[in-house]
Copies of this chain bind each other. A is one copy, B any other.
Amino acid sequence: MSTPLRLGIAGLGTVGVGVVRILRRQAELLSARTGRDLQLVAVSARDKDRDRGVPLSGYAWESDPVALARRDDIDVFVELMGGHDGPAKEATEAALATGKDVVTANKALLAHHGQALAEMAEAAGRTIRFEAAVAGGIPIIKSLSEGLAGNEITRVMGVMNGTCNYILTQMEATEQPYEVLFEECAKLGYLEADPELDVGGIDAGHKLALLSAIAFGTRVDFGSVKLEGIQRITLEDIQQARDMGFRIKLLGVAQRTPRGLEQRMQPCLVPAQSPLGQLEGGTNMVVIEGDAVEQIVLRGPGAGEGPTASAVMGDICDLARGLRIATFGQPAAGLDPVPPASAALPAPYYLRMRLVDKPGALAKIATALGSAGISINRMRQYGHAEPTAPVLIVTHKTTREALDAALAAMHETDVMAGHPVALRIENV
């Protein structure tokens, strides 16, 4: 048995407590697997007196996470505080500066500062592991950076925010509108303190930016992720999609194209019979496509104490076993600063709008599409009680630029009531 691996954990919320529980419960199993004792030395959190349901008196307490990160009796700093600036960033930097490896679940921190932190880690001969930052318990970082290392990755896709998927699938199952399910999630504690992080696609966008960097050997570029939330999805959209054999998912897609790196996190229609289309509730799913492996699908719980702690523990066990690769799978200096793609690859689109109910209204809309070079696959106007008429259009494959031109032209007519909803139909 080698020397123990000494750990310091900053942040004792759900995930932190989950990690402490595993370290206590599975000490023997973890030693057998890693060949070392995993020894929790010190912890840090805001409130020392709170009962967290797990005994903490055997560990040194630091009220300041930066002080914890600097302790010379730990080998690994486990950052489970969250937040992309402030203490999480300072403590991570302090840990690297004083020669510790870092394990973190903090997607925001790495989405914003990943390149700088990876460079800092390498300069110190250390690494940052972040399996828990993406898709909870699914070992996606490891699968992508190690298991599929022999592939040129061609596309990464995923449903990576369980709350959004819960809302969308519950809208269909219960026939309740978005607002009702949003409130339900708020009550159940499924939403981040700032709900925009969830329903606005930001949290999932952070995760996509991290996967992109590993998949394509590029610098993390969260700023270029095209973000669109689920707030405007109506029950009608869900039902129309279903009737056409699709489901609506908050879907992340990243691919390297000749025109640059395409990264989008937006509600899309996907075939109901595809693995992504079949995904229910708060579960996450990531799809990886590579030149050799074709397509791999990974599915699992995207959040929660156990699954997220499992991912943190996977990283800790790797470090205990001496398995270490560069933060984003290759040296940070070699990561490519690929410019963002100016536009997404062409796709069919789903459009829903309301028109003022007067003769020729539909013709004006069809003309706007035709003038932009967009042909219509199907078009329906529904019976209605309201003074405006609901209209549904599915286009043939088109570019987003052409679509935006058509939408602008529609806006110039006198027949639009409100803004249309336009959703990409993704070939998954």
Contacts and interface: CB of A to CB of B under 8 A. Distances in A.
Contacts of A299: 275, 296-299
Contacts of A307: 292-294
Contacts of A275: 275, 278, 299
A296 B293 contact: no
A226 B283 CA distance: 33
Interface in A269-298: 275, 278, 290-298
A26 B152 contact: yes
Given A143-B142, A143-B143, A299-B299, A150 B26 contact: yes
B33 A296 contact: no
A313 interface: yes
Given A29-B152, A292-B309, 16 more contacts: A34-B149, A35-B330, A137-B296, A139-B296, A142-B142, A142-B147, A146-B318, A148-B310, A148-B314, A275-B275, A293-B306, A293-B307, A293-B310, A294-B304, A296-B300, A323-B325
A379 interface: no
8 contacts: A33-B217, A35-B330, A146-B318, A147-B311, A151-B313, A293-B301, A293-B306, A297-B298
Interface of A: 18, 22, 26, 29-30, 32-35, 131, 137-139, 142-143, 146-152, 217, 275, 278, 290-301, 304, 306-307, 309-314, 316-318, 321, 323-325, 329-331, 334
A299 B296 CA distance: 6
A358 B29 CA distance: 60
A149 B53 CA distance: 24
A149 B292 contact: no
B310 A151 contact: yes
A22 B150 contact: yes
Contacts of A325: 321, 323
Can you tell how many copies of this chain the complex includes?
Answer: 2
A278 B278 CA distance: 9
B152 A143 contact: no
A137 B292 CA distance: 9
Contacts of A294: 137, 300-301, 304, 306-307
Interface of A is mostly: mixed
A409 B275 CA distance: 44
Given A33-B330, A152-B26, A299-B299, A323 B293 contact: no
A306 B291 contact: yes
A146 B278 CA distance: 28
Contacts of A324: 323
B150 A313 contact: yes
A24 to B, nearest CB: 12
A30 B149 CA distance: 7
Nearest to A217: B32
Nearest to A30: B150
Contacts of A295: 300-301
